[in-house]
Amino acid sequence: MPRVLLLVPTATYRAPDFVKAAKALGVELVVGSEEAPAYAAGDRALAIPLDDPGAAADLIERLDRDRGIDAVVAVDDQGVVAAATAGERLGFPHNDPAAVAATRDKAELRARLAAAEVPQPAFGTSPDDVGYPCVVKPTGLAASQGVIRCDTEAEYDAAVARIRTFWDGDLIVERYIPGVEVAVEALLHAGTMTTLAVFDKPDPLVGPYFEETIYVTPSRLAPDTLAHVEQLVARAAAGIGLTEGPIHAEVRVDGEECTLIEVAARTIGGLCARTLRFGAGIALEEVVLRHALGMDLTDLRRATAASGVMMLPIRRAGTLSAVNGRERALAVSGIVGVDITIPVGAPVVPLPEGDRYLGFVFATGDSPAAVEASLRAGAAALDIVMT
């Protein structure tokens, strides 16, 4: 039975879905995380310092000598550099660790994309470099945390002061790019990209904060626009130096113009991967494990006509006291799942400070429009009670 080391950050939504995929595939998992995780027992878990890739790779080499492992897979951003470093040492399919590190640093990412002449927002360290409207963001966060649009100098000053309450690292300032946004889920193999899904984000993302809400696939963009988007993402991956494994990218489309916002060396975040099934029904996590192990990837076509997810918006700060209407939401035509990911009694924090999703509503349907309608109706059926 092949054995895979899964690198799992403490705050991830993804681990259970990888465990399920490994089971379906007949793969043994060893789980490496900063703390011994509750879902794996005994010698199937070991402590790995994800933020120290050299030390992590030393431990992974020792694990390979003692037990033998066949692949290292990072389930989220925090483990990707450790996985690449260990993969390089052990001869597994891997990305260049420096390329992966660039995906975790928005300034380094922009520098690499600029060197490769990939269309992207003008960027710098001050609005003077790019003009208004601009977007200011921490270089090392994710999930839109601390990403703020500013139309004036006063807004910029206020945004920086606000970010400084929770981030003391570098900031990047970019020109604001108008248009609609799509997310591209793809798999790299020996430098060649296969697109797995393109998601439309039908709610306007104009700021000042950029809360993720609805993702629906397939995209309703015109085929030639989609081809342009895919080419842009492939060029971006190559420009960054990524060659192996899953990537998740965001692209803004304004008429004919496609602009690369970001590329991450991982699958889509939160629980959004649950919208995807391939071929005879295999999960995205199974695709990732198969790729890491050099197994047959057969059919990477999406299995459903259309599907989508809505990340439940967080309207204000407070304490979650109840989520009512789950049955009503699940009874809405097309709705296939409702997952609340913040426990009752826990604090709920909106953007720009928040870094957790309140929950997810999932839908499938015959068309993207039907899925979008189901998601809106499903979310409206939920009554999120806060104090």
Ligand X SMILES: Nc1ncnc2c1ncn2[C@@H]1O[C@H](COP(=O)(O)OP(=O)(O)O)[C@@H](O)[C@H]1O
Q: Which of residues 246-275 bind Mg ion (CB under 5 A)?
A: 250, 262
Give me the 214-253 binding string for Mg ion, x by CB under 5 A, dash otherwise: ------------------------------------x---
CA–CA gap between residue 168 and residue 213 (Å, rounded): 28
Q: How far is the CB of 330 from ligand X (least distance, A)?
A: 29
Q: Which of residues 129-148 bind ligand X (CB under 6 A)?
A: 135, 137, 141-145, 147
Number of H helices, E strands in the chain: 11, 21
Q: Which is nearer to Mg ion, 133 or 146 (CB)?
A: 146
Residue 348 forms beta bridges with which residues? 318
Q: How many CB atoms lie within 10 A of CB 4?
A: 22
CA–CA gap between residue 163 and residue 144 (Å, rounded): 12
The full length of the chain comes to 387
- The listed partner (ligand X, Mg ion, none) that binds 181, CB under 5 to 8 Å by sort, is ligand X
CA–CA gap between residue 21 and residue 27 (Å, rounded): 8
270: Cα separation from own chain's centroid:
7
Q: Are 139 and 106 in contact (CB under 8 A)?
A: yes
Instruction: Compute how many residues bind Mg ion; rule: CB under 5 A.
Output: 2
Q: Are 379 and 329 in contact (CB under 8 A)?
A: yes
Q: At what angle do helices 15-25 and 284-292 cross, to 10 degrees?
A: 60
Q: How far is the CB of 262 from Mg ion (least distance, A)?
A: 4
Q: Which of residues 207-236 bind ligand X (CB under 6 A)?
A: 210
- Which two three-digit tokens encode residue 277? 């099934």
Q: Which is nearer to ligand X, 13 or 210 (CB)?
A: 210
250 binds ligand X (CB under 6 A): yes
Q: Which of residues 108-127 bind ligand X (CB under 6 A)?
A: 121
Q: Which is nearer to Mg ion, 2 or 313 (CB)?
A: 313
Q: How far is the CB of 38 from ligand X (least distance, A)?
A: 28
**Binding positions for Mg ion, rule: CB under 5 A:** 250, 262
Interaction site with ligand X (CB under 6 A): 121, 135, 137, 141-145, 147, 174-177, 181, 205, 210, 250, 252, 261-262
